[in-house]
Structure 1
Amino acid sequence: MREQEYVRSLFAPEDEVLQNIAPGLDRRGMPQISVPPEVGKTLHLLAGLSGAKRVLEIGALGGYSTIWLARALSENGQVVSLELKEEHAEFARENVAKAGLADRVTIIVGDAKESLEKMVQSQEKFDFFFIDADKPNYPYYLEQAIKLASPNAVIAADNLFQHGRIFDESDQGPSPTTIRQFNRQIADDPRLESIILTIGDGLGVCRVKK
């Protein structure tokens, strides 16, 4: 789209590290499902504006959004990224290191649900969350994020339009069905103040009330 390219060119230029992630995913046979540049820049802005010091990302892939988020933090800030697959985590670590951000990013490999349960049990707290993983578990990830949230924490979630699939009620696949439920959940949950931004494939932004 013309508007999309205009916004990208003005507000979300990619440096060499970010530009090389997509070709690197291709070479490794990994899916091309990184957020687009304008979503990366929006995450960067939101994390910076919120004053986040600790960020929890669910779904690292090649580290594209991880880098945008880590660049928004001060030197003592930290991004913890949960990634199911070791090969994805390895590539993400490579890219984070190339960006000079290895000291600000920790990637934990394994089932995100197990990692989140351990974090809840140890009463960890985060100021910003980005959910971009398996869609059927979005409601679960949201609930765990709320438990881990500092007051006024921000929770962002990607792919809330499912490339238009959510608008077709005859599409009862697990992903669009769950995301319809998730969107209603963030709209109605009294603990949250939320909106869906119509950029990329729909970016949900929620503030956890005190």
Structure 2
Amino acid sequence: MTTHQQQWNSVDDYFTGLLAPPDEPLTAALRDSDAAGLPHINVAPNQGKLLHLLAQIQGARRILEIGTLGGYSTIWLARALPADGSLVTLEYKPEHADVARGNLARAGLDRIAEVRVGPALDSLTVLGAEHAAHPDPFDFVFIDADKANNAHYLEWAVELTRPGSLIVLDNVVRSGAVTDPTNTDPNVRGTRAALELMAKHPKLSGTAVQTVGIKGYDGFALARVLA
């Protein structure tokens, strides 16, 4: 670990301890995810708190999450909803979805948050059909799944939201590789495609921010859906 990384970790620990202290459902979600062998790719606690605050500021009543993992970020997002709010989260792997469902139930959020299993693009097609039959747009979308399909996820996010909705796209820096147009990594190419779509889409106004912390060198993009 470099000196810089140690310093970033220390600062994140300070911020988290002061402004986003853990509670039992969040701690247990990480513990059970680790016990089940899930990869350590969940958002950091202070990043989870940021999602929570953004959803609250947005006044979100309906949230879509693409990429559930063990439900850690799902808990942060679902807690931002009013009692009559709802969240749909999409997870590719059934074993991850099982862990997430248990974590959401323990947090008392299983009636608010629904975990749908399968390839996200298939689940989004189903959501699109539901939306066409009974329009019920999402106010907030968090995209944190396989990066190769980021542009497709962003397109669906626009389709399933309304003017004024907020879209957050995670992990956009790719350790700096996002700046390289010759990079053939599908994660980099997918992220670049999503950012380029965000830049030119007539219904989106967005920006991207670099971050450092316990997740290393990373960043996220934020876009508002326009009329």
Q: Scaled by the length of structure 1, what TM-score is found? A: 0.93
In the alignment, the residues of structure 1 paired with residue 34 and residue 123 of structure 2 have an alpha-carbon distance, to the nearest angstrom, of 28
Match of 1:143 among 134, 155, 158: 155
**5+ unaligned residues in a row in structure 1: which ranges?**
none
Residue 166 (structure 1) aligns with: 178
Query: Is 1:90–2:90 an aligned residue pair?
Result: no
Runs of 5+ unmatched residues, structure 2: 1-7
For 1:4 and 1:181, how far apart are their aligned partners in 2?
Answer: 30
Instruction: Give the counterpart letter for 2:80 in structure 1.
Output: A
2:3 alignment partner in structure 1? none
What does the per-residue CA deviation read over 1:92-149, in whole Å, with 9 as the maximum and x for residues that have no partner?
0111111111111111111211111122122242111011101111100100110111
Q: Normalised by the size of structure 2, how large is the TM-score?
A: 0.86
Q: How do 1:116-127 residues align onto structure 2 when only pairs under 5 Å count?
A: 116-123=124-131, 124=135, 125-127=137-139
Cα root mean square deviation, aligned? 1.6
SS at match of 1:195: strand
Query: What secondary structure is seen at the aligned counterpart in 2 of 1:101?
Result: coil
User: Which segment is superposed worse, 200-209 or 56-65?
Assistant: 200-209
Letter in 2 for 1:209: L
Query: Secondary structure at 2:111's aligned position in 1?
Result: helix
- Give the superposition deviation at 1:169: 5.2
Q: Distance in 2 between matches of 1:197 and 1:156?
A: 11
- What's the CA shift for 1:168? 4.8
Amino acid at match of 2:226: K
**Greater CA deviation, 144-153 or 180-189?**
180-189
Q: Counterpart of 1:106?
A: 114
2: CA distance, partners of 1:193 / 1:86: 35
Aligned in 2, Cα 1:73/1:203: closer, same or farther, shift over 3 Å? same
| CA distance in 2 between partners of 1:62 and 1:185 (Å) | 29
Larger Cα Rg: Structure 1 or Structure 2?
2
Cα separation, partners in 2 of 1:170 and 1:143, compared to 1, 3 Å: closer
Distance 1:190 1:12 in 2: 36
Q: Any idea what SS the aligned residue of 1:193 has?
A: strand
Asked whether the 8 Å contact 2:178–2:192 carries over to 1, the reply is yes
Shift in Å, 1:188 = 3.0
Aligned to 1:70: 78
Instruction: Quote the residue 1:50 is aligned against.
Output: 58
Find the aligned partners of 1:134 and 1:110 in 2 and give their Cα distance.
13
Q: What's the offset of the Cα at 1:170?
A: 5.4
1:80 paired residue among 79, 88, 91: 88
Aligned counterpart in structure 1 of residue 167 of structure 2, from 155, 164, 171: 155
Q: In 1, Cα distance between the equivalents of 2:107 and 2:178?
A: 36
Q: Percent identity?
A: 43
Residues 92, 120 of structure 2: 8 Å contact kept? yes
Counterpart-to-counterpart distance in 1, 2:210 and 2:177? 15
Residue type of the partner of 2:167?
Answer: I
Corresponding residue number in structure 1 for 2:220: 203
Does residue 1:23 correspond to 2:31, yes or no?
yes
Q: Say which SS state the counterpart of residue 38 (structure 2) adopts.
A: coil
Counterpart Cα distance in 2 of 1:66 and 1:98:
13
**C-alpha distance in structure 2 between counterparts of 1:6 and 1:197, whole Å:** 21
